[in-house]
Amino acid sequence: MTEEPRDRSALSGDTVPAAPSVISVMLIVSDADAAVAWYRTALGATELWNLGGVAGLEIGGAPFYLHQVNPENPTETSPGQVGVTSTRIEVFIDDPDTFIERAVAAGAVAGAAIEDHRVPWGTHRQGGFTDPFGHNWSVGDKSPLSSFPR
């Protein structure tokens, strides 16, 4: 197996450095307009763009996307259609208690209560909820998405 160059500009001869990789999350929802409104109100999301049926949002600079169910693509169904979700969205924010309380007040179903957990990156507070579109959210105060020990 050969290793690919880290800087994709080396492949094309360009001198512009390659952009970092990005992983995005796209939530399939039954009603994109209702979902945009709910995520804005309940979670304080900011709308980046909206193409009608597909929208880009962000919470505190962390982007995610919504896509309305497309009946012509049976692989993209909402949790409400299939009765289950296999993905958990995790958000890390300074005040997880208030974030969860706001979501529940706007119609989310409370999940795991916020508890302190001892993890390799320190004491971590985390709880959760299920949004009205069937997506499970875990909300914590410290992200494990960097090297540790810190």
Q: What is the pLDDT of residues 59-90, one digit of tens each?
A: 999 999 999 999 888 888 889 888 888 788 98
pLDDT score of 149: 55
pTM of the model: 0.77
| Cα 140 from Cα 150, distance rounded (Å) | 17
pLDDT digits (tens, 9 = 90+) for 30-55: 999 999 999 999 999 999 999 999 99
DSSP characters for 73-125?
A: -TTS--HHHHT----EEEEE-S-HHHHHHHHHHTTPEE-SPPEEEEETTEEEE
Q: Name the percent of the chain in helix, strand, coil, to the closest 5.
A: 20, 30, 50
Decide: 136 and 85 in contact? Cβ < 8 Å.
yes
- Name which residue leads in pLDDT, 43 or 148: 43
Distance of CA 149 to the CA centre of its chain: 25
pLDDT score of 3: 45
pLDDT score of 9: 47
Decide: 127 and 115 in contact? Cβ < 8 Å.
yes
Rounded to the nearest integer, the mean pLDDT of the chain is: 85
Select, from the ranges 17-21, 102-106, 145-149, the one with the highest average predicted confidence (pLDDT).
Answer: 102-106
Decide: 139 and 96 in contact? Cβ < 8 Å.
yes
Which is it for strands 26-29 and 62-68: parallel, antiparallel or unpaired? parallel
Question: Would the pLDDT of 22 be above 90?
Answer: no
Query: Residue 133's closest CA among 75, 55, 80?
Result: 80
